[in-house]
Amino acid sequence: MRLTQTKAELRAAAAIRPRAVVMTMGALHEGHAALLAEARERVGPDGSVVLTIFVNPLQFGPTEDFDRYPRTLASDLAIAKNEGVDLVFNPSRDELYPNEPSITVHPGPLADELEGMVRPGHFAGVLTVVSKMLHLTAPDLALFGEKDYQQLTLIREMVCDLDMDVDIVPVQTVREPDGLALSSRNRYLSETERDEALVLYRALTAGAKAGMNGPDAVMSAAHAELEAVPSVKIDYLALRAPDLGPVIGPGEARMLIAARVGSTRLIDNISITLR
């Protein structure tokens, strides 16, 4: 496995095809390991898996946890090596943004809803860094977890609208045995807060079970679970079509939730079949 920290080193690395990239902000956990394992499986033993580790300042608001976000490069590299990563790109801020960006990716109207309503400008920062990383790593495949479902949806739209020559591969959310979605921010939770955080998954699964009775029943079932744990503060709970447009009639849908548990903000989502 090779560690690169400059764009020149990255370009000089052997361009083995096919090539898959997994983009992260580090603090890797089993969810990231699942992305890397899927990447390794898809490119085969003769392909190349690239991992990027970069805490992207453009996607953090002025009151968010950029400085607090965990940086765990040594353990990240150990996980990467264990999952068969060939190349790690871990640039500094100055390397990736030598000048303050004056041109960024405009993510469109969906970026002002859900997460974007709570975190203005977040998705412009996400799509800008994803676009840069796709350009620099030149992959055939890019893998993203479904836990960040709105992000995944916007990346798919960007790749389609800008004719980027890469396949976007979604990977299912990885959960703890009790259902809590794996997140680098889970380490901020106290023992009590972690127990409280389980209500997010309970609300989603309750909504999914009510899908046979239609959208209103889905929302009612989810809200009933959330009301039982008032210490968890909900930013939003929404039921949308798979492309995050409005739900129209029966079929597949996606329920998304964001909430604050203590000082930690968590997101999750689940697929729902509406009858």
Domain boundaries, the chain: 2-171, 186-274
- Name every residue whose Cβ is closer than 8 Å to that of residue 40 and which is 6 or more positions away in sequence: 20, 49, 83, 84, 85
- Phi, psi for 135 (deg, rounded to 5): -65, -45
132 a known binding residue? Answer: no
Q: In this structure, what DSSP letter does residue 180 have?
A: P
Q: Is 146 known to sit in a ligand binding site?
A: yes
Q: How far apart are CA 240 and CA 67, in angstroms?
A: 33
Angstrom distance (rounded) from CA 213 to CA 245: 20
Tokens of 125: 């920062």
Residue 145 annotated as binding site: yes
Based on the number of CB atoms within 10 Å of its own CB, is 106 exposed (0-12), middle (13-18) or buried (19 or more)? exposed
49 is in an annotated binding site: no
Characterize 13-31 residue by residue with b for buried, 16 or more Cβ atoms within 10 angstroms of its Cβ, and e for exposed.
eeeeeebbbbbbbbbbbeb
Instruction: Tell me: is residue 100 an annotated ligand-binding position.
Output: no
**Are 183 and 65 within 8 A, CB to CB?**
no
- What was the pLDDT predicted at 98? 95
Q: Which residues pair with 238 in a beta bridge?
A: 256
pLDDT for 63: 86
Give the per-residue pLDDT at 26: 97
26 is in an annotated binding site: yes
pTM, 2 dp: 0.96
What are the C-alpha distances in Å from 112 to residues 57, 78, 206, 233? 19, 37, 27, 21
Which residues of the chain carry a pLDDT beneath 50? none
Strands 19-24 and 141-145: parallel
Domain 2-171, CATH homologous superfamily name and number: HUPs (3.40.50.620)
The continuous run of DSSP H or E covering 266 comes out as: strand 264-274
Please tell me the predicted confidence (pLDDT) of residue 267. Answer: 98
Is 86 assigned a ligand-binding role in the annotation? no
Q: How many CB atoms lie within 10 A of CB 41?
A: 12
pLDDT for position 172: 97
Annotated catalytic, 32? yes
What pLDDT does residue 272 have? 98
Question: Considering only the top CATH level, what class is 186-274?
Answer: alpha beta
Structure confidence at residue 262 (pLDDT): 97
Q: What is the pLDDT of residue 13?
A: 87
From 32, 106, 122, 135, the catalytic residue: 32
> How many whole angstroms separate alpha carbon 251 and alpha carbon 90?
42
- Tokens 């964001």 correspond to 258
Q: Is 182 annotated as a binding residue?
A: yes
Q: Do domains 2-171 and 186-274 have the same CATH topology?
A: no
Q: Is 214 helix (H, G, I), strand (E, B) or coil?
A: coil
